[in-house]
Chain A
Amino acid sequence: KQEVTQIPAALSVPEGENLVLNCSFTDSAIYNLQWFRQDPGKGLTSLLLIQSSQREQTSGRLNASLDKSSGRSTLYIAASQPGDSATYLCVPGNSGYALNFGKGTSLLVTP
């Protein structure tokens, strides 16, 4: 069974900082890896999808890298803003769809 660990579990930073969120997973035989954000009491918003053949994906201030062989992914958030406050989830997909959720990293960006 795929196990997902995200470090740190919680993070509080002043706005403007560049952030690094780390994710590790135990089964490297993945099809893809998806990063989501979840706001309190809300559903999930897809941020980035990295196929297993790719090394990274970028969207605006977000950049995600994937090292499939070592079971690691990193999400970089540049110039953080209070609106970035949310829980960030790294979700590797072993059988096509990403179905393995950890507890995520809870991020608070203070003004």
Chain B
Amino acid sequence: GAVVSQHPSWVICKSGTSVKIECRSLDFQATTMFWYRQFPKQSLMLMATSNEGSKATYEQGVEKDKFLINHASLTLSTLTVTSAHPEDSSFYICSQGGGNYEQYFGPGTRLTVT
């Protein structure tokens, strides 16, 4: 399957600052990438679908002005958490869409906002 990397793997930031998380497809060109959030002991929740060269599609309840997604190339999508607050502390995971609608997930980014 495809290999997806995320950077950073963990980050601690102060409340009010912005954090950028990168999701990179290492061996496959991905026109579609997905961003998920997972709170402790909870299911993965889809935040948005990122399409290369166009605006991301956000799920209901996800603020697009707070979670900025950029998918400027076929191998890179970024998620920027703007004006982060402690309640944004979570595990953020991206995935890449592959053939037959299979998904390949990155290793995740642990965000802690203090």
A contact set with B: CB distance below 8 Å:
31-32, 34, 36, 41-46, 49, 51, 89, 93, 96-99, 101-104
Contacts and interface: CB of A to CB of B under 8 A. Distances in A.
A102 B45 CA distance: 9
B43 A102 contact: yes
A43 B103 contact: no
B106 A43 contact: yes
A46 B104 contact: yes
Interface of B: 1, 4, 6, 32, 34, 36, 41-46, 91, 93, 95, 97, 100-108, 110
Contacts of B36: 101
A5 B14 CA distance: 37
A49 B99 CA distance: 11
Contact of A41 (B34, B100, B110): B110
Contacts of A45: 105
Given A43-B4, A98-B101, A99-B34, 7 more contacts: A32-B101, A34-B103, A45-B105, A46-B1, A46-B103, A97-B34, A101-B36
Contact of A44 (B32, B93, B101, B110): B93
A46 B102 contact: yes
6 contacts: A34-B103, A41-B108, A41-B110, A46-B104, A99-B34, A104-B43
B26 to A, nearest CB: 14
A90 B1 CA distance: 18
Contact of A97 (B32, B45, B91): B32
A96 B91 contact: no
A47 to B, nearest CB: 10
- Scoring B32, B95, B106, B110 by chain A CB atoms within 10 A of each residue's CB, the highest score goes to B95
Given A41-B110, A44-B93, A101 B101 contact: no
A36 B46 contact: no
Contacts of A32: 100-102
Contact of B108 (A36, A43, A93, A96): A43
Contacts of B104: 46
